Amino acid sequence: MAGKLSKIVGSLVALGAIGAGMFLVVTRPQPESEAYWNSAGTPDVKNGELVFSMGGCVSCHKSPGAKGEAELVLAGGIAIDSPFGKFHVPNISPDEKAGIGAWTLAQFGNALTRGVGPNGEHLYPSLPYGSYSRMSAKDVGDLFAYIKTLPKSDNVAPPHEIGFPFNIRLALGGWKFLYFNDRPRVTLAGADDKVRRGQHIVEGPGHCGECHTPRNALGGFLSDLWLAGAPNPEGEGRIPNITPEGSIASWSESDIVTYLKDGNTPDFDFVGGTMVEVQKNMAKLPESDREAIAAYLKAIPGRKSAR
């Protein structure tokens, strides 16, 4: 009897070890190769500046309270409250010690689009790599080149304030296994080039869904409610539904373009809240990109507002 029990226990231990091994393999960090990032080619700094505005980098990575030209000092330090704890935005200036000045393009690109840190660790999705994963190597390389032209800062942001079990980075591999991908958020059969461009911006570098889409208890998007509105991650009010059945249902494409350009709504109101920063960034894009965003928002499936 003892021998039989011993075999059973041994089998369970072996199965557990196999399961743990499979989990580690499936959930390991998966960066792109050096060759992939080398395919970015010669950087285009002007395009990098455009990607910088499209991605809203300054909104999170500037110093708290910075205005005007001071916003381009990407010293970090802004605190972001979430249901999982408080995240402190890092310094991404070209400073070699406090920022990313000593990083390679591969380290930068893998952090931005794969959620893998410079030492091979999983990064928290407070950096919206779930959206940035849709960016090309070319755009990432151009963005990196542009950031390197900006002023340096020696500010060091505090560590994140994340409690158990969310402070276990290994678990982020499981989160990525469940929710991280670079597939289109919606299927748009027969979409023209303008709508496709809008889809790239909204679902990718513009990362609009990060605020406008509700999430489950683990922080994964509720994919069937894409852009249907969500609780404000900062704790007050709600982020609106921007599908064709939401708060902008009566807006024309021209109305959306005007709102993104100068902040005016068709009912004579003006942009407010955290959207102020987004609108400032969108105003720097070419008119054709704002038109593409508007076309995409009118082409996606309408959804009732999430509750």
pLDDT digits (tens, 9 = 90+) for 280-297: 999 999 999 999 999 999
Q: Looking at the structure, do residues 172 and 42 belong to the same domain, yes or no?
A: yes
Q: Looking at the structure, do residues 51 and 146 belong to the same domain, yes or no?
A: yes
Cα–Cα distance measured from residue 233 to residue 276, given in angstroms and rounded to the nearest whole number = 16
Residue 185 tokens read as 């958020």
pLDDT of amino acid 3: 56
Between the two ends of the chain, the Cα-to-Cα distance in Å is: 57
- Would you say residue 50 lies in a domain? yes
Q: Looking at the structure, do residues 92 and 159 belong to the same domain, yes or no?
A: yes
Of the three residues 151, 179, 207, the one that is the final residue of a domain is 179
Q: Looking at the structure, do residues 146 and 258 belong to the same domain, yes or no?
A: no
- Would you say residue 246 lies in a domain? yes
Residue 283 tokens read as 């105003």
> What pLDDT digit, counting tens, does each position of 124-164 carry?
999 999 999 999 999 999 999 999 999 999 999 999 999 88
Tell me how many domains the chain contains: 2
Of the three residues 124, 150, 179, the one that is the final residue of a domain is 179
Neighbours of 201 (CB within 10 A): 22
- Would you say residue 187 lies in a domain? no
Q: Looking at the structure, do residues 39 and 174 belong to the same domain, yes or no?
A: yes
Cα–Cα distance measured from residue 274 to residue 235, given in angstroms and rounded to the nearest whole number = 12
- Would you say residue 72 lies in a domain? yes
Does 14 score more than 50 pLDDT? no
Domain range for residue 141?
34-179
> What pLDDT digit, counting tens, does each position of 218-262 carry?
999 999 999 999 988 766 789 999 999 999 999 999 999 999 999
Q: Looking at the structure, do residues 102 and 220 belong to the same domain, yes or no?
A: no
> What pLDDT digit, counting tens, does each position of 69-126 carry?
999 999 999 998 888 889 999 999 999 999 999 999 999 999 999 999 999 999 999 9
Pick the range with the lowest mean pLDDT from 12-16, 65-69, 139-143: 12-16
> What pLDDT digit, counting tens, does each position of 177-186 carry?
999 999 999 9
| Burial category of 111 from C-beta neighbours within 10 Å (exposed 0-12, middle 13-18, buried 19 and up) | buried
Q: Looking at the structure, do residues 218 and 276 belong to the same domain, yes or no?
A: yes
Cα–Cα distance measured from residue 26 to residue 305, given in angstroms and rounded to the nearest whole number = 35
Pick the range with the lowest mean pLDDT from 138-152, 158-172, 195-209: 158-172
Nearest to 58 by CA among 73, 43, 47: 73
Q: Looking at the structure, do residues 218 and 167 belong to the same domain, yes or no?
A: no
- Would you say residue 24 lies in a domain? no
> What pLDDT digit, counting tens, does each position of 17-49 carry?
444 444 455 578 999 999 999 999 999 999 999
Q: What are phi and psi of 161, to 5 degrees?
A: -110, 80
Q: Looking at the structure, do residues 44 and 152 belong to the same domain, yes or no?
A: yes
Beta carbons of 180 and 130 less than 8 angstroms apart: yes
Q: What is the mean pLDDT of the chain?
A: 91
